[in-house]
Amino acid sequence: MSTGVIVLIIVAAVVLVALLAVLPAMRRRKEQRVVERKRGERADLHRGEAEQGTSRAELAESEARQARAEADVHEKRASLHERGLADDELDVDRDGVDDRAERGDERAVGGHRDTVPGDEGPADEYRDGYRDGERDVVDEAEQRRPR
């Protein structure tokens, strides 16, 4: 055999051995890239779930704050009723229908509270815990002021 053929066989053997050594490393790198991609996808999925959970929790907190505020309003109205400061609401039934209109009470029919004979005017509205005919709950300091 000639020297050229021997060199060619040796070079081919070295290339073959190098390929056999590099192929497993290339497979491992490819598998690593696939695993990293899957990790990223799963992390994104969990982040999305976390964001949805957070938004649901924030909504629930908001609804709870609103429910607490409504409960506070009812508690303040109960306190006004206990003190006798909201007696004008006693004629309004639970449906919000004002029974006074049926009886001909002019405050319910359309007359303004400060126009009813015998009332002391707008100051009387403040004393009853309401302003300008609205049903706003007056703060404690205003409720304690002398009559």
| pLDDT, tens digit, 9 for 90 and up, residues 95-139 | 565 555 555 555 544 444 444 444 444 444 444 444 444 444 445
**Is the pTM of the predicted complex or chain greater than 0.85?**
no
Burial 53-86 (b: 16+ CB within 10 A, else e): eeeeeeeeeeeeeeeeeeeeeeebbeebeeeebb
Cβ atoms of 108 and 91 within 8 Å: the answer is: yes
Which token pair is 10?
């040796």
* Cα distance between residue 28 and residue 130, in whole Å: 78
| pLDDT, tens digit, 9 for 90 and up, residues 19-73 | 999 999 999 999 999 999 999 999 999 999 999 999 999 999 999 999 999 999 9
Cβ atoms of 77 and 128 within 8 Å: the answer is: no
| 8-state DSSP, 33 | H
Q: Quick one: which H or E segment has residue 89?
A: none
